[in-house]
Amino acid sequence: MERPEIERWLEQLRLEHRDLDEVIHHLIQTTHNDSMRIQRLKKRKLKLKDMMTKLESQLIPDLDA
């Protein structure tokens, strides 16, 4: 995957991660919070974070020691 493609993908993941954070926060604040739904969203958010970390590591150039 080329750098521009990785950067575009990362931006999409960051947006989704941010959106999930807002949804989770809203669900926790409501009186009818759905703990199962919140757990699923938190798992999805964690997967996104893992994907972002993996992609970010691809942007770091390899340095020969």
- Residue 27 domain-assigned (yes or no): yes
What would the pLDDT profile of 6-26 be if each residue is shown by its tens digit?
999 999 999 999 999 999 999
Assess if residue 37 is contained within a domain.
yes
Residue 44 counted as domain residue: yes
pLDDT tens-digit readout, 18-47: 999 999 999 999 877 789 999 999 999 999
pTM confidence score: 0.84
65 falls in which pLDDT band (50, 70, 90)? low
pLDDT for 11 equals 98
User: Alpha-carbon torsion 25, 30, 33, 37, what sign?
Assistant: negative
Structural domain harbouring 8: 3-57
Q: Crossing angle, helix 3-29 and helix 35-59, to 10 degrees?
A: 160
In a domain, 34, yes or no: yes
Domains held by the chain: number: 1
In a domain, 63, yes or no: no
Query: pLDDT value at position 54?
Result: 96
